Amino acid sequence: MARMSKRERLLTRHVLARGIRDPLVVAALKKVPREAFVPRGERRHAFEDRPLPIGGGQTISQPYIVAFMVEALELRGGEKVLEIGAGSGYAAALLAEIAGEVYAVERIGELAEKANLNLQKAGYPNVHVRHADGTEGWAGAAPFDAILVSANAPAVPENLKSQLKVGGRLVIPVGPSADAQDLRRVRRIDEHEFAEETLAEVRFVPLIGKFGWEES
């Protein structure tokens, strides 16, 4: 029997074993090199299912959680997707394997530059990175088929909901503290109505900005 690579072991033991089944998400996980999106000093840990520091007090989320959130967006291919909290660009790369165009916003300038460089090197010209307040979204590119928020908000920002297409999905961690957060999926039913459901308990860094938490 052939020996599994580190990436295959991570995928099999820590992602597929926990219920990720969407074939588009699985294919993206197999293709995107997570090690290309972590700092050089952390690359020996790139195939472990845990968050890793990427600078600026931020982390790259564990692969299972990223896969779970991307799967929750219910992408089918070719969509326009907004990501809030680009970090090092890893989740944007996974999204770019499925979606047609990805718009990624990062509030920390250093990380926005790194994400853009990482994505260029990895070959994702369909990802557009902006250094800005992610809580404001990207109105000029709206509406979006899906929005992924990779940081914890005190409530679901109304302006992000307004940037969804009818039928679009928003996945976001919401909670009162760093220790009590729910991952929620918001679906736009029509111009004025939204349906919301809780998917899992999670822990994310705070979503800082005009429509999120104030910077301490």
Write the pLDDT tens digit of every residue in 140-165: 999 999 999 999 999 999 999 999 99
The CATH number that applies at residue 63 is 3.40.50.150
In a domain, 158, yes or no: yes
Backbone φ and ψ of 148, nearest 5°: -115, 125
Q: How far apart are CA 117 and CA 121, in angstroms?
A: 6
In a domain, 214, yes or no: no
Q: What is the pLDDT of residue 154?
A: 94
How buried is residue 75: exposed, middle or buried, by Cβ count under 10 Å (0-12/13-18/19+)?
buried
pLDDT, one tens digit per residue, over 77-101 is 999 999 999 999 999 999 999 999 9
- pLDDT category at 57 given cuts 50, 70, 90 is confident
Whether pTM exceeds 0.75:
yes
- pLDDT at residue 2 is higher than 60: no
In a domain, 196, yes or no: yes
Q: What is the pLDDT of residue 95?
A: 98
Active site residue 61: yes
Look-up of token digits 């959130």: 69
Calculate mean pLDDT across residues 35-44.
92
- pLDDT at residue 126 is higher than 70: yes
- Quick one: which of 102, 29, 34 has its CA closest to 67? 29
Q: How far apart are CA 138 and CA 97, in angstroms?
A: 21
The one catalytic residue among 5, 61, 88, 162: 61
Q: Decide if 132 contacts 69 (C-beta within 8 A).
A: no
Calculate mean pLDDT across residues 178-192.
93
In a domain, 216, yes or no: no
| Count of domains forming the chain | 1
- pLDDT at residue 3 is higher than 70: no
Calculate mean pLDDT across residues 54-74.
93
Q: What is the pLDDT of residue 139?
A: 96
Q: What is the pLDDT of residue 11?
A: 82
Domain membership of residue 159 as a residue range: 6-202
In a domain, 212, yes or no: no
In a domain, 210, yes or no: no
In a domain, 208, yes or no: no
- pLDDT at residue 1 is higher than 50: no
The top-scoring range by mean pLDDT among 16-20, 22-26, 37-41 is 22-26
In a domain, 213, yes or no: no
Q: What is the pLDDT of residue 38?
A: 93
